[in-house]
Chain A
Amino acid sequence: KQEVTQIPAALSVPEGENLVLNCSFTDSAIYNLQWFRQDPGKGLTSLLLIQSSQREQTSGRLNASLDKSSGRSTLYIAASQPGDSATYLCAVELGGAQKLVFGQGTRLTINP
């Protein structure tokens, strides 16, 4: 059974810092990995999708990497801003299964 773990569960940093969120998964036979953000009381917003054949994806100040063989992904946020405060969720899709398996999320707080 695929399990997804995110560390840390919560993170608080001052504005302007660069930071890394971690995601690990137990079954390397994934089809893709997605990073989402969730604001309180809202749905999920997709940030980045990395196909299993890719090593990284970038969007603005966000960079996500994938090491499928070791079962790890990282989300790098550069020059953090208070608006980045949210819960960040990592999810993997197993090959052929279509459904996503989510981690428990990292609650990020950026202090002005």
Chain B
Amino acid sequence: GAGVSQSPSNKVTEKGKDVELRCDPISGHTALYWYRQSLGQGLEFLIYFQGNSAPDKSGLPSDRFSAERTGGSVSTLTIQRTQQEDSAVYLCASSYFSSSIQYFGAGTRLSVL
């Protein structure tokens, strides 16, 4: 079937605005991950969802970041009061179960002006 789909592919926003990034995982995959890729930091883990378990939020950089996963499928990453340092590519991945191969979407490039 289709791969991991992320939208929008690009997002330009003004400092202080809120943004929502969407991820549609591969159908049937129970695990969903968000990562951030920036020039200075490389690829960093943000948050992980597995089935109906409480998410692992240990990678979220501040309380301005939150994410939810509705119905065990689509996930939304929300960044409130965006800052310039939030500019990065946000990547979503899913896997059939935890600790198996992760399949990545093409990412959302966020630019905060």
Contact = CB atoms under 8 A, between A and B. Distances in A.
Q: Which residue, A41, A44, A97, A103, has most C-beta atoms of chain B within 10 A?
A: A44
B42 A105 contact: yes
Contacts of B106: 41-43
Contacts of A41: 106
B75 to A, nearest CB: 15
B45 A46 contact: no
Interface string A81-112: 00000000101010001111111110000000
B101 A31 contact: no
| Interface of A: prevailing SS | strand
Contacts of A99: 33, 45, 48, 56, 58-59
A6 B103 CA distance: 21
A102 B36 CA distance: 11
Given A99-B33, A105-B42, A45 B101 contact: no
A100 B33 CA distance: 9
A11 interface: no
Contacts of A91: 43
Nearest to A41: B106
A34 interface: yes
Interface in A33-69: 34, 36, 41-46, 49
Contacts of A36: 104
Contacts of B105: 43
Contacts of A24: none
B42 A98 contact: no
Contact of B98 (A45, A46, A98, A104): A98
B50 interface: yes
A44 B91 contact: yes
Interface of B: 4, 31, 33, 35, 42-45, 48, 50, 56, 58-59, 91, 93, 98-107
